[in-house]
Structure formats: structure tokens, C-alpha cells
Structure 1
């Protein structure tokens, strides 16, 4: 079955960009995750659409993997096709309008526009995700979010059609969008920014970068901020007040530097990481009667299934 998929997909994309049983820990920020049955990297939007259409026509599960910054892939990996768009990484600036493909890192877009004296994406200078991932979750930090600057987004539907959605059609909310709720794949985005004072932009980015590097455990693999902010509360504060920092399961641990992060400190498995998430949720619920909802996505199988 996998060999047939390999042969068929090699007619759609460069054969070098199709791999069987590819370990996904190579593509996730946590350095966790089992193998994908078939891993495909598309070089164009048309290739991505063709891969999706092939999967749908043949009833094959398909999953879009960005730069793996906001997810945990279970130890059993992913069945079917894992489609990666990291090669779609072009950034084009035209006046105050910015076109960025889904595979570009949002940090790189933030730096590129800042160098041109454009303001609006300073908040994204420390978000470790792709443009596609940032769109799907309406990423935000330091009082700003994608919703503030987005004009429109080109998406790939689950049927393989390419459509453009306006800001209103994207239905952006706190860590949500129609992209995520409908299972679409972001292909590229258009941002509308404003001309700003270069010194102010540079100082803002310097300040945000310092806050990130001094307060986040960037020295360890992690999925970033694990939990959504509960209404009227801060997840990190609740976890800290629960005495959970430094605790964990196996090689995973609640960061002593920032309680909102769970790190892969010592060759953790995805199971370690997920069990640490569940432990945090359980104890915070016991102490404060607050349900912490995960911001990270947990995907894949608990064990490898041979086909």
C-alpha cells in the first residue's frame, strides 16, 4: 500500500520529496513523534492541491504539518499522508502590503517587514511558527495578533480546491479560525501594515526578543505555550501556584523558567509529554477547579500500526 502511494505521489511531486516511514521527530519543535506512513513535501501550491485531491480520491488520511511548533505527534506517528509545506516560504513586500507563503516562518516575516520600516507585526518576532500555523490559530503575543493585520488568506480546502478568504470570512477569534475548524490548509497570506518609525520598531522588537529569551526555556525542545489562557486567569500562574514547576513524567518536565511551557528535557517520549500535560490539567483542576484547555494539538497514534 505504501509503495503504491509512493509511486503515485512521485508523479505529482519531485520523487526526492516523497518518503516512506519518515520519522516526524525531525520536523517537530518538541523533537517527538513517530513515523509518517508517507511524508510529502510540496514545492508549489498546485502540487499541494494535487496531493490533497489524490488522498481524497483514494480515501487516504491526510494531515498538514507545518514547522511542528504547536503540536505533539504521538509515538506511533501518523497514518496515511503527511503533507509538508515548508518549501512554500516566499515573502514579498509591496509598499505596505506583504505576501507571505504558508511555509515561511512568521518570525522571518516579522524581521523582513521591520527592516522595511513597516509596523504591525512586531508582536510576531518571537512566535516560533509558520505563517500557515499562525493563520490557523490566529497567533498572538504581547498584545497583538494576526487578526490585527491580516487582509486575506489563500487556503486549500479538504477537497483540494484553492480559494481566497477575506478577513471576515476567516472568522478569527482567540486561538481559532475557520481554517482550523473546517480543516482547511493555509497556502499564503496577505498582510496590510503601516509605515512606522524605524527606531521605535527596532526598540519594540528588541524589547519583545529580550522578554522571550529571558523568560522562555528556549534551550530545550518544547511545543511552546501549552495551554490556552482561562477567562480572567493566566495558565502559567495557575501552574506555578500549583507547585508543578520542575515536575513531569519521564523525560518531560514543566519548565522552571516558565510554567506555561513543558519541555523535552531528557529524551522524552511523546507519551511522557502528553502524560505531563494530563498531570498538570488534573492538579490545576483539583486545586483551583479550573479546566486548562490545551493550545497545542495532539495528533497521531499511540503505537505504530504496520500496513
Structure 2
């Protein structure tokens, strides 16, 4: 899991740091949940979620202004704890003096945004869910083929990068080569991207490192893509029986998500780029309810049944 702090929020959303930077401690943000401390403004701190980002809008601060001076000070000093990663004030509302003093006392980053409270809450949640999502790295190649994120895996030297290069030449888009960072951003949704160090790069044995975006243009790459299909390349084994109809459906489990998987045997003379391209198109058809293998099996059963009835 990547570490996120208020510094990342400042850069991402162009926020202004209100309090004293020298006294500010940029604590890690550990949850994507956002708190709007309305009950806390009324003095109820029994279940105060101090480890969440606290978002103050017009409603909370309008209520705050009606409190007595002693209550105002009490609320703000109880709001700012050593666990609080940041407090954000929306709509460009001026920060109360007691809040600035309390934030400085424990080093809580106090930030200001011109955006509305609801908009700021939505943007923060989306950003944090993406950055704090569980992450793993897999050896393979991720390509966007006809809108399908295809994760190509296989042993080293089987031809993954060469196949990816051929697919890029055919108009598809590279996301990552060699190492794919995969995050489960929501239930059932896996998003892959490339490590920053090797972004847009392909390693071709005998040729070396090539920059796909420089050679083929900006339309040949993507920064991230949802993974929909996994294809495992393996050296052809004459002793192994491979699926010839496509009725058997396999999958690979990444985190809690099952991704459909196809095994493709590799041997000289097979055009892997075309096979993978067709596999992606066939996968799209299956999602639309058109399954060629099942249609063939049904036809075959009908022919057998008709032959049996004639006998």
C-alpha cells in the first residue's frame, strides 16, 4: 500500500496550507473515509473518527459560529489530535483562529479549498481509494486490446514483450511491460499500471530497451487499464491436451477477484499477436452473450439427437 500524506493532497487538488508549515507534521493517511464532524461541533466526541480526514464546510462552521467562546476553543482543540492526518476547509471559508491555534499545537495540516464540500468529499474519496487500494506486482505485460485490458503472463523468454510489440504495431496500446502493478480499487475491479521507472518502455531481446511512445506516438500507450482477461503463454507440450473448443473456462485469482484466463501454447509458426487479438474480441462477444463454442456444442447435440431419432 502506497503512503499518502497531506502533501499529496496539496499537490493533487491545489490546496492551500493555512497553518505554520514548520509546525506541521505530515502524518500518513490510512483510510479513504472522509469525516464531516457535525456531531463533534455539537460536542459529541464519543465516537470521533480521529484518523480520518476532517472536512469542514459551511454547515459545520455556521453552527460553530453560534457557540460561546469557551465552546469554540474546546471543540477545535478536541478536533485536532495527534492521529488526525489533515483538516480541510471547503468553499474558501476563512479558518477560525481557534482552529489554527489547535492545528499548530499538534501539527495537524490545515488546508483550504475553493471547491464545494460535496465536490471536495467526492474527489478525496476517489483519489484515496485509488492510492490506498491493495497492490501487488506481477511479472507480465498489460495491453489494451479493443478496450479490454489483457494481462499476458508466462515464463521468461516465452515471447511476451515481442508479442506486445506486434500488438502495438497493430494499433493496440501498451500499459506495462515486464512488471505490472495491480491494485484492487473496488470489489471485482483490478487496475494495472506500469512502475514509473519503466513506463512506456519495452525490452526486446537482441534489440534492447525501446520507448513505445516515442516510436509509435502517444496513441500507442496508456497510463492504466482495468484488467479483464488474463492470457498465459506456455511452451507447446506435445503430451498435454489443449482445449480445442473453448468450452472449459479457467480463471486466475488476484486478491479477491477472479479474472478469466486462457492458456495459449507457443511454438514456431503461431502468430501470437493475432491469436491474442482474436481472444480479446471473442471475450467481448462472450460478455455480449455470444459464445461460439456453446453454439457449436448445441448444434452438435442437435445433429446427434436428429441422427438418433432417425435410427
TM-score of the two chains, using structure 1 as the length reference? 0.23
Higher relative CO (Cα under 8 Å, sequence separation at least 6) belongs to 1
**Given the two structures, how large is their TM-score scaled by the length of structure 2?**
0.23
Larger Rg: 2
- Structure whose residues are more often helix by fraction: 2
